A and B are shown apart, each in its own frame.
Chain A
Amino acid sequence: AQSVTQLGSHVSVSEGALVLLRCNYSSSVPPYLFWYVQYPNQGLQLLLKYTSAATLVKGINGFEAEFKKSETSFHLTKPSAHMSDAAEYFCAVSDSNYQLIWGAGTKLIIKP
């Protein structure tokens, strides 16, 4: 069965610092992986996705994620945090039935 673990319900970084949000998955089929972002009082929108092409995936707003099969990880990074990045971030894996299995989410807090 598929599952997703996001390490840290809250992550706090200073403005300008590196953002690293961790996601580990388990999947019985080759995984398709997604990162979504939810800004305050809004719905979720896709940041980026991995669908078995390049292992380094670039998304919107300067975010990227690297698929590492050996580590079963799909961590999200951004070199320099901006105040506007404050949001909740969700990692998800697509199961064999086209459903998305969701992580619990990580709230990113940006300190001025």
Chain B
Amino acid sequence: EAQVTQNPRYLITVTGKKLTVTCSQNMNHEYMSWYRQDPGLGLRQIYYSMNVEVTDKGDVPEGYKVSRKEKRNFPLILESPSPNQTSLYFCASKPRGRGGEQYFGPGTRLTVT
């Protein structure tokens, strides 16, 4: 089944404790992206990647890191999480081209205390 998977789905952590949220897709998509979703603010892009070893900042990259060493994986790293990073995070992937739809993972709900 074509899908984007994220792990963990739920995470409660403390300020400053490094964490990684994994994202994997099995559709051979070139493009991958991370978003955060907060009430009243819609979807905001954190980072995206147009292909392996190519990553770019989105609208809200501060406090986050990503890497794209393999086509299928695009982990999101929070080196020193803070309470303002408490949010719902989505990973997405899409094929090359403007008309291709984005496929979303199920989301990771992160709480930083």
Contact = CB atoms under 8 A, between A and B. Distances in A.
B41 A104 contact: yes
Interface residues of B, number: 22
Interface stretch (B13-21, B74-82, B102-110): B102-110
Given A32-B99, A94-B98, A105-B42, A43 B105 contact: yes
A90 interface: yes
Contacts of B50: 98
Interface of B: 31, 40-43, 45, 48, 50, 90, 92, 94, 96-102, 104-107
- A-B pairs, top 9 by smallest CB distance, nearest first, are A51-B99, A43-B104, A104-B42, A94-B98, A44-B104, A46-B101, A102-B43, A43-B106, A32-B98
Interface of A: 9, 32, 34, 36, 42-46, 49, 51, 90, 94, 96, 98-100, 102-105
